[in-house]
Amino acid sequence: ETGVTQTPRHLVMGMTNKKSLKCEQHLGHNAMYWYKQSAKKPLELMFVYSLEERVENNSVPSRFSPECPNSSHLFLHLHTLQPEDSALYLCASSQGSGIMNTEAFFGQGTRLTVV
Amino acid sequence: GENVGLHLPTLSVQEGDNSIINCAYSNSASDYFIWYKQESGKGPQFIIDIRSNMDKRQGQRVTVLLNKTVKHLSLQIAATQPGDSAVYFCAENRVDTGRRALTFGSGTRLQVQP
């Protein structure tokens, strides 16, 4: 266990559904991240939150909507997804709100399948 | 799995041999590098890191070498074990863009033959 917990582990949703992915970290970190890992591309950064403020949005479609209510929790709200959005969605956290120069701890990921 | 579709380079070694996994990075301004291991069905797991003011760092059974002249990073695993079978990623912090997150390479699959 890395101290970063993601739920659910697996999710199947239709293109018209709305669902949310949850991430929780118990490490006292103040930065959290969403990454996408698909079968055709390496790990892609989606969003960065530092001190609960979004500091980076890496050209992600608006059908993905992140939320960071506090430094321990991060959500990714999903709606009207496409089949190509099927992937492993990884949450990570790290210490430091500036330029990242410490390791990131990853959760186990949520495997999302859009049908 | 999530890496199946990628044409990952694969390194196959015999149990007990040493493994060397290589990574090239593109940004000479990067100053922090990490190696991660990802087993099937799991998230990436930290192995070892190195900062640009160093050229070598050792951990338990692992050594990372950094050659800034040719922008090359390597991970050496001593006495490779079946449990080392996984996909290994190098990651860098690219400071020129002010990015606050790591950029990952595409990974290398390590297969350890018993």
Q: What is the pLDDT of residues A86-114, one digit of tens each?
A: 999 999 998 865 545 678 899 999 999 99
Tokens standing for residue A23: 């991430």
Other C-beta atoms lying within 10 Å of the C-beta of residue B81? 13
Residues of B within 8 A of A42 (CB-CB) are 6, 89, 104-107
Residue of chain A whose alpha carbon sits nearest to that of B30: A101
Q: Could you report the per-residue pLDDT of A47-65, keeping only the tens digit for each?
A: 988 877 777 777 899 999 9
Block mean pLDDT (10 aa), chain B, length 114: 63 97 89 92 92 94 96 96 96 70 88 93
Strand order in the sheet with A4-7: A4-7, A18-25, A73-79, A64-70
Other C-beta atoms lying within 10 Å of the C-beta of residue A33? 25
Burial label, A73 (beta-carbon count in 10 A; 0-12, 13-18, 19+): middle
State whether residue B6 sits within 8 Å of chain A by CB: yes
* Shortest distance, CA B53 to any CA of chain A (angstroms): 13
Residue of chain A whose alpha carbon sits nearest to that of B102: A100
Tokens standing for residue A44: 């892609």
Give dist(CA B92, CA A70) in Å, integer.
27
Residue of chain A whose alpha carbon sits nearest to that of B104: A43
Q: Which of B7, B27, B102 to mutate to test the interface with A (most CBs of A within 10 A)?
A: B102
User: Which among A59, A74, A90, A26 is positioned nearest to B99, based on CA atoms?
Assistant: A59
In the predicted structure, residue A40 carries a pLDDT above the cut 60: yes
Residue A57 DSSP code = E
Distances (CA, A) of B51 to A67, A92, B62: 32, 20, 16
CB pair distance less than 8 Å for B100 and A98: yes
Chains A and B form CB pairs within 8 A to the count of: 80
State whether residue B5 sits within 8 Å of chain A by CB: yes
CB pair distance less than 8 Å for B2 and A107: no
User: Which among B62, B54, B98, B103 is positioned nearest to A104, based on CA atoms?
Assistant: B103
